[in-house]
Amino acid sequence: MNKHQKQTSIMVVDAGNSRVKWQSELKSGDKIRNFVAVSDLGDIEPLWANLRKPEVCVISNVAGPRLEKKFVSACFMLWGIKPIFVKSQRTCCGVTNNYYDPHSLGSDRWAALIGAHDLELGDSLVITLGTASTVDVLYSDGNFMGGIIFPGLDLMGNSLSQETYALRNPNGRDSKFPRNTVDAIYSGSMRATAGAIEAMRLQVLIDRGKSPQLVFSGGNARKVAKHCHKNRSVHDNLVIDGLIRVSRDLI
């Protein structure tokens, strides 16, 4: 990072299905990280009132147009700036998007891919485990080859709890050989998630002749990672990391 970038205040926001997370880089070099549940989000201005004015505010928003309006209003009211909403594209920051329609890829997945590529780990599975789970194939040359989406760990268990009368308690624990129903649900959800990741790992192994690095992020990352191949690392928020990388190209 050059001297100008160190002295520039950057704010990035990851608005997901369950939480809105942000990080502010201050001119002093200090960083402020925080989050709020989408269900608890009222006015944004009081949450950001103590932050210094950023030179640029870059946002990934998959939570819908209502939140987009809130972000635009807050940035204008607090700092007189217009936020930049990241949209997926064919190429950015060394990553090439091989989706048939590159613009249809979610901005959170796109930012996570950019964050993972910046780690320079070689061929990788970029795995985000939140409300939804995604496993995306990213090769060492920056080519995003595609990926899968399936219900998140909690969503799997909750769906059985909500849709099946006899399975009303979703709060189980992981067990090698579950001997009650709630543990069976939780353990089944865990194995389904780990199994999907393993299937993608084997596909890359077949295609490339070597096993990829498993790059985990999201609220359930640490829970699931321990059930997967040992060639792995866990990162707090790849979306935030990717947004910071995008921001540095804008200043």
- Could you read off the pLDDT of 197-242 as tens digits, one per residue? 999 999 999 999 999 999 999 999 999 999 998 999 999 899 999 9
The answer on pLDDT for 2 being more than 50 is no
Nearest to 180, CA basis, from 195, 162, 191, 166: 166
Nearest to 147, CA basis, from 184, 119, 171, 112: 112
Nearest-angstrom CA–CA distance, 243 and 174: 34
**Structural domains in the chain?**
1-119+237-251 (3.30.420.40), 123-234 (3.30.420.40)
Q: What Å distances lie between residue 41 and 11, 53, 66, 219, CA to CA?
A: 18, 21, 11, 19
The strand ranges marked E within 117-237 are: 124-129, 132-138, 143-151, 213-217, 232-234
For residues 20 and 9, the model is more confident at: 20
Q: What is the pTM (predicted TM-score) of this model?
A: 0.90
Q: Active-site positions?
A: 108
β-sheet with 132-138: strand ranges across: 91-92, 95-97, 143-151, 132-138, 124-129, 213-217, 232-234
The answer on pLDDT for 137 being more than 70 is yes
Reported as a pLDDT band with limits 50, 70 and 90, residue 156 is: confident
Cβ atoms within 10 Å, residue 242: 31
- Do the Cβ atoms of 133 and 180 come closer than 8 Å? no
Longest Cα pair distance anywhere in the chain, in angstroms?
61
The answer on pLDDT for 1 being more than 50 is no
Mean pLDDT of 41-53: 90
pLDDT value at residue 4: 41
The answer on pLDDT for 6 being more than 70 is no
